[in-house]
Every structure is written in C-alpha cells, then in structure tokens.
C-alpha cells in the first residue's frame, strides 16, 4: 500500500539519551541530536515555540528548534521529499527553515541524527535558512527510507510588531511513493 499522510510524522528532537526514538521531548527541548518519540500535534498553538514576550519582541529575538520528519511506513521509501512553509500569520514573527546536513538515518540510531545547539538562542552551525512558501520552492530532504528520519531546523524571528494572537506558521512535507 502507498505511503499516506498518516505515515509521515513530525517529531520533536531531544539532546538526551543514547539513541533516537527512545525518549519523549517537547518544543522547548527540541535542540537537535536525536529524534524523540513525541509527535508534534498539528494545529496546536505554541507546540514548537513558546509565546513571544514583549521583551523578546522589542529585541527582535531569534530562536531555533530542530524537528524530525519520520517515514513511519513499514516498507516504502518517501521519495523526493520536500518541506516548505505556509499560513504564516501576518504581522507576527517570521519563520524560516533549513535542512540539517546529517543524512537520513534509522529512527533508533545511536549516532547523532542532527546537529545540536546549546540553547534556543544559538544558531546551528553552517545552516542556511530560507522561507519557501510553495511545494515547488520547497527544500529537498531527498529520499527517506521506511523507518528512517531526517532533521529540519526552524528559525523564528520576532519583528518588534504589535501583539499578535495565534502567531505561527504551518510546516508542510510531501514526497512521492511507490504504489
């Protein structure tokens, strides 16, 4: 059976543990290294980033998170996978993404599956961020074999704007599949 949307998981990252897919995590702890067991709830406000405070907004604060795309299909490769952003709330923070240089790996790998950063204010080394707004302009994740994952970095930049309720963005993933 072909890969369906339910087979493509977005998960938090964790710096803890000694292998991927062995510990839970949350948005504030998603600072790279391993895939966690915790899926990111779609359409849940502040699942990945916390609320931008007034001081952070005035300072045009920049924060980073690492998430994983997990192909949970039992046997098929998610081919030519791309990631892009849509539905960014107007007047709020700006968001951008970057594909981690670490190759796709088995979700239980004991080797680091992504770079890691010291804290949310530290940019991951050698990452170039962009904000593709269509699938055609999306960033390539390459092929993600069954049971494997690939890391994506997300950057949020506050813009010293007025208060915005429900600020955020949607991260989209798509790829091809054999029948």
Please report where in the chains the tokens 């998981």 appear, as a residue.
Answer: 9
pLDDT (0 to 100) of residue 178: 83
In the numeric block, which tokens belong to residue 11? Answer: 């998960």
Query: Per-domain residue ranges for the chain?
Result: 5-44+57-176
Residues of the chain with pLDDT under 50: none
pLDDT (0 to 100) of residue 55: 93
In the numeric block, which tokens belong to residue 47? Answer: 């699942």
The torsion defined by the Cα of 134, 137, 142 and 146, in degrees rounded to 10, comes to: 10
User: 32: exposed, middle or buried (C-beta count within 10 Å: 0-12, 13-18, 19+)?
Assistant: buried
User: 11: exposed, middle or buried (C-beta count within 10 Å: 0-12, 13-18, 19+)?
Assistant: buried
User: 172: exposed, middle or buried (C-beta count within 10 Å: 0-12, 13-18, 19+)?
Assistant: middle
pLDDT (0 to 100) of residue 13: 98
pLDDT (0 to 100) of residue 19: 97
pTM of the predicted structure, to 2 decimals: 0.96
pLDDT (0 to 100) of residue 166: 83
Task: Provide the pairing of β-strand 94-99 with 105-106.
Answer: unpaired
pLDDT (0 to 100) of residue 1: 80
């Amino acid at each position: 059976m072909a890969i369906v949307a339910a087979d493509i998981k977005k998960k938090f990252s964790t710096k803890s543990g000694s292998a991927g897919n062995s510990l839970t995590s949350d948005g504030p702890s998603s600072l790279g290294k391993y895939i966690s067991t915790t899926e990111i709830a779609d359409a849940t406000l502040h699942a990945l980033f916390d609320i931008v405070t007034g001081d952070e907004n005035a300072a045009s604060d920049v924060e980073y998170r690492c998430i994983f795309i997990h192909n949970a299909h039992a046997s098929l490769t998610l081919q030519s996978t791309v990631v892009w952003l849509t539905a960014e709330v107007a007047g709020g923070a700006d968001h951008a993404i970057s594909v981690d240089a670490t190759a796709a790996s088995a979700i239980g790998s004991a080797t680091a599956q992504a770079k890691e950063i010291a804290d949310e204010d530290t940019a991951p080394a050698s990452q170039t961020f962009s904000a593709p707004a269509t699938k055609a302009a999306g960033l390539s994740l390459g092929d993600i074999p069954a049971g494997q994952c690939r890391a994506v970095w997300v950057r949020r930049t506050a813009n010293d704007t007025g208060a915005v309720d429900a600020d955020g963005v949607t991260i989209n993933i798509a790829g091809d599949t054999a029948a």
